[in-house]
Structure 1
């Protein structure tokens, strides 16, 4: 029904000429959106560049807009193309899922797009090993990440924008009825400090922790930090020098300053692998975190999604970060 409603909205909301629009033209539109190149779009669709250009001309005529204009070496979308982009891509994704049910799935040749909703916390901790593993056996598959400002990112599943939601769960997490999930890793929070920090030698004590200044990463809307909540129960508070919505900037800042950063162990290990950072056990009790992937059962019925779930379970379920 979602597919039918989407197509009805396109047909009835635009010019009558769209009633006769070849749906293959929407595949050309999608490929041009992603590649910004007629030649690359044609290669993906297994057609000649001239056929792709001809299809674009038909789209322009049907939609009464240039849609893509050349800027330097790239074909950039017009304002109208940008307005159409999400609807067209969501519709194609729904069609692909619906029409693909019951068919076999060949990862080596598939060009399917899988959409993950995630904060940069979970993208940073989970996606690198998954993308590497998928690329090795499915070189043409596309993974798209939709940024979320919610802890478990499940709102994108409810409206059909995503196939999977990567998120944190702890003792205060909401139970989402109608969704399935798999757990990848569990762990505790740790503290990152720059290697050679002048005042932190050996074990980090609570007194030292409270004397230092901190970076607080708050990626989720309207939700207090787990760390500040744990300190509040102890009638303590940390001195926050910098509050950020992003994990990636935070680790770089800590590596260049004397500020401390408290974060999940799995994310700390990834950061310490590429930056001069030392990992210390947190000197306070916090609820353990669990990294999970949520998905709707209706998606899990298709061969492609079952394959991706298997990859996630194998790659992420076996991930056991070790402290450097």
Structure 2
């Protein structure tokens, strides 16, 4: 077909419908009415001579022609976005941009203080907004641009560009003076010792729950908490234990009220990575922010 008369807005609608599997959600993203999005899709169907999407329960699914077209459309749009963005250099001292970042609650406590200190010095007018999301939604949010980057142990996030920031493992955090620590400050616990403990489980951290389930310790959970932030205070005032990243646990131990205990925890090693979308990989502001995040991690 001759593309000289093709309205590029039709391709924006096609891309949004393909990613969302829904005309209504695509219209919402593009700030269009649903009839306007449907009309744009109809025009593109007529131009290409293909239905492109078929109705199904809860949305639409692409035809084989749409599947083949989708990657080419996304690549072309990303190339245009980068070309337009490169015309505007990012000046951090003057910028008033908002960066949106996925972090868990424990990630906020660990990484936001040094990151905000660095931003205050280098980009004092920039706004940083954290938007914690379910793991299954992160890649799509990065691709849409509703998230600029995500930091964490995110094994379910695929199809993104990523950089490992640090490697860590899970350990136990107990209060100093815990009955099992008598005669030894930090023994390495075997399974029998682990089964004698009682635990705090944090529902927002699925890997710690997996470890407790793998060791058949669910019956030893005495508190199931929604978030992490109150857990260290609870551990300090009780005999409960919590499974958590060793690097963060060591920071609590340095306060003097806690002991970090290595244990035979299954599949306990993991990487904390920075994730971003290839669509915005060369956008100057995002490049600058990713570099800053990596510098901050290297200094910790």
TM-score for the superposition, normalised by structure 2: 0.66
Structure 2 gap segments, 5+ residues each: 1-11, 17-25, 37-80
Structure 1 gap segments, 5+ residues each: 14-95, 320-324
Q: Which residue of 1 aligns with 2:52?
A: none
Select 1:205's aligned residue among 182, 189, 207.
Answer: 189
- State whether residues 210 and 237 of structure 1, in contact with CA within 8 Å, keep that contact through their aligned partners in structure 2: no
Select 1:115's aligned residue among 89, 96, 100.
Answer: 100
Select 2:212's aligned residue among 225, 228, 236.
Answer: 228
Partner Cα distance (1:217, 1:240) in 2: 10
Select 1:280's aligned residue among 261, 264, 270.
Answer: 261
- State whether residues 116 and 165 of structure 1, in contact with CA within 8 Å, keep that contact through their aligned partners in structure 2: yes
- State whether residues 228 and 238 of structure 1, in contact with CA within 8 Å, keep that contact through their aligned partners in structure 2: no
Q: Which residue of 2 aligns with 1:64?
A: none
Q: Which residue of 1 aligns with 2:117?
A: 132
Q: Which residue of 2 aligns with 1:142?
A: 127
Select 1:260's aligned residue among 214, 224, 241.
Answer: 241
Q: Please state whether the residue corresponding to 1:225 is helix, strand or coil.
A: helix
- State whether residues 152 and 168 of structure 1, in contact with CA within 8 Å, keep that contact through their aligned partners in structure 2: no
Q: Are 2:291 and 1:307 equivalent residues in the alignment?
A: no
Closer, same or farther: CA 303–210 of 1 in aligned 2, 3 Å: same
Deviation at 1:114, TM superposition (A): 0.5
Select 1:181's aligned residue among 142, 162, 168.
Answer: 162
Partner Cα distance (2:276, 2:102) in 1: 10
Closer, same or farther: CA 283–181 of 1 in aligned 2, 3 Å: same
Q: Which residue of 2 aligns with 1:248?
A: 229
How do 1:159-174 and structure 2 match up within 5 A? Answer: 159-169=144-154, 173-174=155-156
- The number of residue pairs the alignment matches comes to 229
Deviation at 1:121, TM superposition (A): 3.0
**C-alpha RMSD over aligned residues:** 3.3
Deviation at 1:289, TM superposition (A): 1.2
Partner Cα distance (1:152, 1:212) in 2: 35
Deviation at 1:214, TM superposition (A): 0.6
Q: Which residue of 1 aligns with 2:88?
A: 103
How do 1:13-92 and structure 2 match up within 5 A? Answer: none
Deviation at 1:176, TM superposition (A): 1.1
Deviations along 1:20-56, whole A, 9 cap, x unmatched? Answer: xxxxxxxxxxxxxxxxxxxxxxxxxxxxxxxxxxxxx
- State whether residues 136 and 157 of structure 2, in contact with CA within 8 Å, keep that contact through their aligned partners in structure 1: no
Q: Are 2:253 and 1:269 equivalent residues in the alignment?
A: no
- State whether residues 189 and 262 of structure 2, in contact with CA within 8 Å, keep that contact through their aligned partners in structure 1: no
Deviations along 1:248-280, whole A, 9 cap, x unmatched? Answer: 111121112111011111221343445722211
Q: Which residue of 1 aligns with 2:32?
A: 9
Q: Please state whether the residue corresponding to 2:215 is helix, strand or coil.
A: helix
Partner Cα distance (1:200, 1:153) in 2: 41
